[in-house]
Structure formats: structure tokens, C-alpha cells
A and B are shown apart, each in its own frame.
Chain A
Amino acid sequence: AQKVTQAQTEISVVEKEDVTLDCVYETRDTTYYLFWYKQPPSGELVFLIRRNSFDEQNEISGRYSWNFQKSTSSFNFTITASQVVDSAVYFCALRRETSGSRLTFGEGTQLTVNP
């Protein structure tokens, strides 16, 4: 069975602070895919990143960075110098290798960035 755990239900920071969102996953598969999505108040899920299980290199995209560690089954997401526009619910998700497979989401972390 696939499972994703986001232990932080809510995080509140002040603008310009760095913030890390935690994601821990469970799977018996050796090949799988991990994702982060952002859901702003408008409700639409916005794709942020996909990571393959065989690629453990960390990735940086502007103020966003992701730390993938297979040894601890974690795929954490860091926002550097947070901005008010980063306020949203962030979801971590897992997908099996099987073509067309469903996404299994965590329960999400509500991030509030205060000015």
C-alpha cells in the first residue's frame, strides 16, 4: 500500500523567513514518483515538481528547493525568503511506476506567510 504523511498541518511564518515542509512516504515499490503540488485559496492544484525514485539529486528552482532522501523515505520542500504569495496548502504525492497510475496524496500543510 502507498501512504504519504505530512505531519505539519499548519505552519505560520513571517515574510522573508525560510520554511521547510516535511513529507514522509511509504511504498514497497522500488521505482516510484514523488510530487509536490500547491493549492492556493482559488482551489486549483498547481504542479510544482516531479522526482523519480532513482534520482536522489536535490533540486533548486528559484526560491524553491527539494531534498529527496530514500534512506529516510522523505521528500522535503523548502521555500527560501518566503513571500505572502506563497500562502497556500501544499500537498506531497506519490505515484507507482505503472503507466497511468493514481496519485496518493498526503493531507497537506497549510502555509501562512504573514507580512
Chain B
Amino acid sequence: DTGVSQDPRHKITKRGQNVTFRCDPISEHNRLYWYRQTLGQGPEFLTYFQNEAQLEKSRLLSDRFSAERPKGSFSTLEIQRTEQGDSAMYLCASSSGAGANYEQYFGPGTRLTVT
């Protein structure tokens, strides 16, 4: 049973460029979450999918951010026209189970540095 994987692990980009991150959840998990974590802070929720449907988006997810989960398996998070304030660790998590009695399992994260 492999865990949540994320690619790339590190990304350095210049301001104004577009970047895309990928998350592969645990195989039987139908729920997938994206969080952002800046230095010295706890993770902050960005968005959530159940299967291929994006059910919730945070106000943190500006128009420059878009997330997809086209076949209900892996997900991508794209940031357009990156800004220095986008520099952060982007964490993906997945979970399974019906109802509310479950926990989220996190991947290793993608660290984005915008120069």
C-alpha cells in the first residue's frame, strides 16, 4: 500500500511563470485535498474533491489557481502568473470512507519557490 505521492518535490520558478503540480492519492481513496503551508505556519485548506467533483474551494484559491481531478484518481494544481507570495509548500492529502469517521493522509509536499 503506497502512500500519497506528489511531483515534483521542489520547484523553482520565476515570477510570472505558470507551474503545475501533481498528486497521486492512496489508490482506494475517493477524497482528495490540497493545502498550502508557509514557513512557520500550519497548513491552510485550498480545495477538496470527492471523486472527480470539486466540492469546496477556499477564498485562498484565487483566480490564478485551478485544480482538477479529471478521472477521480490523480489531481493537478496549476498556478498561473506566479507571484513571490505563492512561495510555499503545497500539500496533498487523501481519505476514504463514508460518513465523517476518517483521517486524511498527507503526501510529502511540493515546495515552490518563486524568484
Q: Which residues of A contact B (CB under 8 A)?
A: 4, 31, 33, 35, 37, 42-47, 50, 52, 91, 93, 95, 97-108
Contact = CB atoms under 8 A, between A and B. Distances in A.
Interface stretch (B17-25, B69-77, B78-86, B106-114): B106-114
Contacts of A47: 103-106
Contacts of A37: 106
Contacts of A108: 40-42
A105 B103 contact: no
Nearest to B102: A50
Contacts of B44: 105
Interface of B: 31, 33, 35, 40-45, 48, 50, 55-56, 58, 89, 91, 93, 98-109, 111
Contacts of B50: 100
Contact of B101 (A42, A52, A93, A105): A52
Between B41, B100, B111, the greatest number of chain A beta carbons within 10 A of the residue's beta carbon is seen for B100
A45 B106 contact: yes
A98 B41 contact: no
27 contacts: A4-B42, A33-B101, A35-B103, A43-B108, A43-B111, A45-B43, A47-B103, A47-B104, A47-B105, A47-B106, A50-B103, A52-B101, A91-B43, A93-B42, A97-B100, A98-B100, A99-B98, A99-B99, A99-B100, A101-B100, A102-B45, A103-B35, A103-B45, A105-B42, A105-B43, A107-B41, A108-B41
